[in-house]
Amino acid sequence: MKDQKILNALSYFSLFFAPLIVPIAIWIFSATESTKHHAKIALLTHILPTIGAIVSVFIVGVVGFSTNSSNVTGFIGLGLIVSIGIMIVVLAIFNIVRGIQALVAKDDDPLFNSID
């Protein structure tokens, strides 16, 4: 049970050292469904900022090509950069909180030991 807690927390804390490799490895090689579930959630929260950045670049490119105003493009680009920055901070805090919760969870806590 202690190994499961460590793997759950490691999948969230991997944001700081291997954000894609560790959750994927835990998801593939884990024996319990609960740990696989937490690895999937951690992987999703690690990938979301990248997806947001790609969509933002696409939006800025479309706006840049469709308007002749660099002010509009710059304003939209700045707004998207700020929103991606906020998303990164919020998801980092989420991962830290979930990692700590996974470490201190009791063995009978259904939130961290089952996926009901």
Domain assignment present for residue 108? The answer is no
pLDDT at 33: 86
* Residue at 41 is within a domain: yes
Count of domains observed in the chain = 1
Which residue type does 105 have? A
Give mean pLDDT, residues 11-20. Answer: 87
Assess if residue 14 is contained within a domain.
Answer: yes
Domain span at residue 33 reads 1-100
Q: Are 34 and 114 in contact (CB under 8 A)?
A: yes
pLDDT tier for residue 116 given thresholds of 50, 70 and 90? very low
CB of 15 closer than 8 Å to CB of 95: yes
Residue 70, classified by CB atoms within 10 Å of its CB into exposed (0-12), middle (13-18) or buried (19+), is exposed
Structure confidence by residue, pLDDT tens digits, 34-64 = 889 889 999 999 999 889 999 999 988 888 8
Question: Is residue 105 situated within a structural domain?
Answer: no
pLDDT at 115 over 60: no
113, pLDDT greater than 80: no
Q: Model confidence over 51-108: pLDDT tens digits?
A: 999 999 998 888 888 888 888 888 888 999 999 999 999 999 999 999 998 888 776 6
Q: Enter the pTM of the model.
A: 0.80
